[in-house]
């Protein structure tokens, strides 16, 4: 308890009245409290002013500003603020760096609790030492116990050289927990600076990776090492920038134009995710009518099966309030995946995209869809598959690259998934690709088709070239094309008709296109009790 003393000024006689006022008591701050506030303030300030200024000149926010942008105001509760490095070499201990270059704690994002860590580049370049790693590991353990998502904000020079193998062991601690808690709580990585060497593997093990144009870079070996080893000259952006990883490697799921835009995207993603594998994704109220007509699907029935269109438009029209959060927008564009709501319920969408490579399946599309399906299954999110696929993309590069092995991942993911699975064949579904896209005998719960769909071993025109090759060859030149068209129609009516497929039970129902939204919502509601959250086997979301 602090001492109370009399204020001599207020205790003097008042003029005019001839009366003395009562002595005013003044609280003297205890030395321990003053010292605490001084240490706390210095620790919270981060690195020296010049380092903070350098960060701002790069267009980057500080570690604490990033947390403030992401979390609800006043909600962040920090842990480990005063922890320091245990390293005694190279003057590290003498610097008394509080927090060891990272901020860890819990805060709410749109009212929902999450574990958050943010690396501070202004302190030793955000490098990872053993204490730094221990703080992350402890936070992840607590997050798993509390069953809340983990969000990591990475901005680091990599392993701290001064700590030697201790820093590398620290990465091992983190990788172990990334894997151990995969499929238990959602894990999100936000790259807001360099992320090099071993540091890249923690984000790669998480469910979603965000990057920002111009400031985010990921690579195992930097440009200088690449030049020394291979003679190739490459800059940071080309080697490991946001668009490189979003469009070529597939490491990055979301690209933002700025840090605030990135945090906005993270919040949007979080609105679709459950807190853990024991919960369902959050419901949302909508005024969008369940029976809203989808006129666009009627138009789709009228166009040639070979004509390209963006499947995104179909997804937008089906979803509540025309809202669709696409994942991996720039990677494997022949396959579109993402989140929508149908009747307020979160649904994961996997759709062939005829606007790119005719919507055919290839190596990257198979990997992209398979991993997303596994995430949805881990976190109790139903799956809607929209099919318009001509087959597998042909070529030596695909065969030598392992399309058989990669395509099998898609088959495995669909077969393994026990969440509600509904399929709608929009137009064509040919050959092995038809089977792969959540067909009935691959475990699809309810499989719908539009009236104009073609479901067959191969396309009608290709089929008649094989089945009637002699007849076509013997026909006059001017008669061949009309003959092909006639035979293709006959083949389509007999073997590729959705009614033929429905007659065998491989399609549950051919539906009215305009009523597709209402039918899908009704089907998902009917399947709502198929699996209780947490009852499924824990498999994790292995990077594919």
Backbone angles phi, psi at 434, to 5 degrees: -60, -45
Question: Are both 150 and 183 inside the same structural domain?
Answer: yes
Statement to judge: residues 309 and 263 lie in one domain: no
H/E element holding 180? helix 165-180
**Which entry of 433, 456, 496, 523 is annotated as an active-site residue?**
433
Clarify whether residues 236 and 374 are in a common domain: no
Structural domain contains residue 490: no
Do 136 and 242 lie in one domain? The reply is yes
Give the closest residue to 374 by CA, choosing from 412, 330, 342: 412
169 and 301 inside one domain: no
The tens place of each residue's pLDDT in the chain, 544 residues long, gives 444 444 544 444 445 455 556 666 667 778 888 887 887 787 788 788 898 999 999 989 999 999 999 999 999 999 989 787 676 665 666 566 788 889 999 999 999 999 999 999 988 888 888 899 999 999 999 999 999 999 999 999 888 877 778 888 999 999 999 999 999 999 999 999 999 888 999 999 999 999 999 999 999 999 999 999 999 999 999 999 999 999 999 999 999 999 999 999 999 999 999 999 999 999 999 999 999 999 999 999 888 888 999 999 999 999 999 999 999 999 999 999 999 999 999 999 999 999 999 999 999 999 999 999 999 999 999 999 999 999 999 999 999 999 999 999 999 999 999 999 999 999 999 989 999 999 999 999 999 999 989 888 766 666 656 666 677 676 677 766 766 766 666 666 666 688 888 999 999 999 999 999 999 999 999 999 999 999 999 999 999 8
| pLDDT tens by residue, 31-65 | 888 887 887 787 788 788 898 999 999 989 999 99
Give the number of other Cβ atoms within 10 Å of residue 450's Cβ.
20
Number of domains in the chain: 2
Is there a single domain that holds both residue 327 and residue 392?
yes
pLDDT value of residue 14: 47
> Residues 46, 80, 197, 444: which is the catalytic one?
197
Q: Are 198 and 314 members of one domain?
A: no
Is 479 within the bounds of a domain? no
Which member of 432, 462, 522, 540 is catalytic? 432
Residue 141 lies in a domain: yes
Is there a domain that residue 474 lies in? no
Q: What is the pLDDT of residue 37?
A: 84
Q: What is the CATH number of the domain that holds 205?
A: 3.90.226.10
Active site residue 433: yes
Task: Encode burial over 181-209: b for 16+ CB neighbours within 10 A, e otherwise.
Answer: bbbbbbbbbbbbbbbbbbbbebbebbbbb
Residue 23 lies in a domain: no
- Confirm whether 8 is domain-assigned: no
* Same domain flag for 262 and 299: no
357 and 503 share one domain: yes
**Coil, strand or helix at 20:** strand
391 is an active site residue: no
Residues 299 and 256 occupy one common structural domain: no
pLDDT score at 378: 98
In eight-state DSSP terms, residue 159 is B
In terms of DSSP H, where are the helices of 181-244? Answer: 201-205, 223-230, 236-240, 242-244
Shared domain check, 45 and 130: yes
Is 478 within the bounds of a domain? no
Start-to-end Cα distance in the chain: 60
- Please indicate, yes or no, whether residues 48 and 120 belong to a single structural domain of this protein: yes
Q: Among residues 43, 146, 164, 198, which one is catalytic? A: 198
Q: Which of 228, 255, 270 is the last residue of a domain?
A: 270
Looking at residue 36, what is its pLDDT?
A: 78
| Torsional class of 419: left (φ above 0), alpha (ψ -120 to 50), beta (otherwise) | beta
Please report whether residue 533 resides in a domain. no
pLDDT for 125 = 84
Q: Sign of dihedral through CA atoms 375, 376, 377, 379?
A: positive
Domain assignment of residue 213, given as a range? 34-270
pLDDT at 214: 94
């Amino acid at each position: 308890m602090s001492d109370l003393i009399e204020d001599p000024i207020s205790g003097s006689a008042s003029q005019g009245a001839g009366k003395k006022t009562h002595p005013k008591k003044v609280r003297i701050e205890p030395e321990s409290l003053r010292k605490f506030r001084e240490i706390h303030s210095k620790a919270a300030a981060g690195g020296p002013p010049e380092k903070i200024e350098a960060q701002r000149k790069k267009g980057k926010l500080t570690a604490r500003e990033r947390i403030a942008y992401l979390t609800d105001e006043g909600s962040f509760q920090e842990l480990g603020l005063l922890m320091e490095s245990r390293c005694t070499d190279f003057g590290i201990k003498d610097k008394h760096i509080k927090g060891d270059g990272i901020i860890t704690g819990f805060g709410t994002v749109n009212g929902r609790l999450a574990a958050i860590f943010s690396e501070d580049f202004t302190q030793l370049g955000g490098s990872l030492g053993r204490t730094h790693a221990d703080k992350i590991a402890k936070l992840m353990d607590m997050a798993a116990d509390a069953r809340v998502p983990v969000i990591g904000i990475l901005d680091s020079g990599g392993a701290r050289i001064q700590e030697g193998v201790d820093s590398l062991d620290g990465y091992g601690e983190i990788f172990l927990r990334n894997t151990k808690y995969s499929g238990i709580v959602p894990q999100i990585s936000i790259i807001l600076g360099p992320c090099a060497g071993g540091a890249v593997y923690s984000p790669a093990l998480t469910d979603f990776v965000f990057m920002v144009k111009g400031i985010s870079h990921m690579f195992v070996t930097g440009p200088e090492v690449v030049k020394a080893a291979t003679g190739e000259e490459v800059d940071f952006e080309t080697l490991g920038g946001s668009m490189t990883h979003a469009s070529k490697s597939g490491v990055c799921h979301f690209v933002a134009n700025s840090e605030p835009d990135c945090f906005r995207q993270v919040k949007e993603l979080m609105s679709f995710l459950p807190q853990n594998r024991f919960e369902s994704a959050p419901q949302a109220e909508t005024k969008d009518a369940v029976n809203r007509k989808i006129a666009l699907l009627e138009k789709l029935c009228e166009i040639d099966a070979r004509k390209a269109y963006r499947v995104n438009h179909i997804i937008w029209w089906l979803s509540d309030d025309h809202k669709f959060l696409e994942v991996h927008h720039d990677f494997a564009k022949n396959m579109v995946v993402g989140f929508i709501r149908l009747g307020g319920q979160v649904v994961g969408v996997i759709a062939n995209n005829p606007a790119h490579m005719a919507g055919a399946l290839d190596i990257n599309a198979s990997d992209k869809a398979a991993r997303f399906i596994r995430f949805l299954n881990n976190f109790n999110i139903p799956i809607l598959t929209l099919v318009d696929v001509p087959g597998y993309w042909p070529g030596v590069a695909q065969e030598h690259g392992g399309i058989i092995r990669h395509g099998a991942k898609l088959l495995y993911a669909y077969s393994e998934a026990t969440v509600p699975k509904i399929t709608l064949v929009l137009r064509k579904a040919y050959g092995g690709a038809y089977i792969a896209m959540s067909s009935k005998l691959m475990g699809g719960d309810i499989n719908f088709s539009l009236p104009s769909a073609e479901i067959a071993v191969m396309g009608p025109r290709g089929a008649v070239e094989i089945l009637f090759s002699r007849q076509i060859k013997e026909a006059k030149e001017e008669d061949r094309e009309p003959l092909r068209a006639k035979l293709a129609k006959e083949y389509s009516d007999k073997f590729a008709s959705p009614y033929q497929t429905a007659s065998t039970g491989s399609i549950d129902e051919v539906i009215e296109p305009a009523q597709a939204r209402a039918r899908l919502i009704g089907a998902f509601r009917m399947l709502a009790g198929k699996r209780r959250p947490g009852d499924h086997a824990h498999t994790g979301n292995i990077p594919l």
